[in-house]
Amino acid sequence: MKAIKNMWKGFTSAWGQFFRLMFKAKGKTGRAKYMCVIIPILLSILLFLTLAGLLVEKQNPQVVRVTGYYLLYFYLPYNLIVKILSFCLVARRNHDIGVNKWFALIMFIPNIGIVYLVILMVISSHFQMLIHPHKYLQG
């Protein structure tokens, strides 16, 4: 029970930090806090696309249910707003792994951006040693 309470506390502190630093790209965001915010965002995007795909399903070759297309009209602005609001989060995560913050712009490229957000979940902050070995091998 205590483990669940600690997980919930970490989850809420990650979202609190996300809203507090929403427009600040300075600093770093660790992998755990990044994952607590990005996973629900990616799941909501996946839910939108799945619902749209199910509603656009063809019942008859001549008739297509257009409800799914209307859902996509809500999805596109939602996706854009979510990406704009999480831009600074991705920039801070890039800084944490030692990559230039401007690489956060990759997330606006369709399909590649979602893959990039997932890659940022996997890479640890020790990735800096692979990118800039000269900083760590001075002796």
Instruction: For residues 72 and 89, give the distance between their C-alpha atoms in angstroms, rounded to a whole number.
Output: 25
Report d(CA 86, CA 19) in Å as an integer.
10
Instruction: Give this prediction's pTM.
Output: 0.75
Q: Which 3 state secondary structure label does DSSP give 64?
A: strand
Check the CA dihedral 18-39-47-25 and report its sign: positive
Beta strands in 1-139 (DSSP E): none
Query: 100 and 94 in contact (C-beta within 8 Å)?
Result: yes
Q: What local confidence, expressed as pLDDT, does residue 125 receive?
A: 67
What is the per-residue pLDDT for 96? 86
**Stretch among 1-10, 48-57, 74-83, 106-115 having the lowest mean pLDDT:** 48-57
pLDDT digits (tens, 9 = 90+) for 103-119: 899 988 888 888 888 88
What are 23-64's pLDDT values in tens digits?
988 988 888 899 999 999 989 888 887 877 777 665 555 555
Domain-wise residue ranges, the chain: 27-134
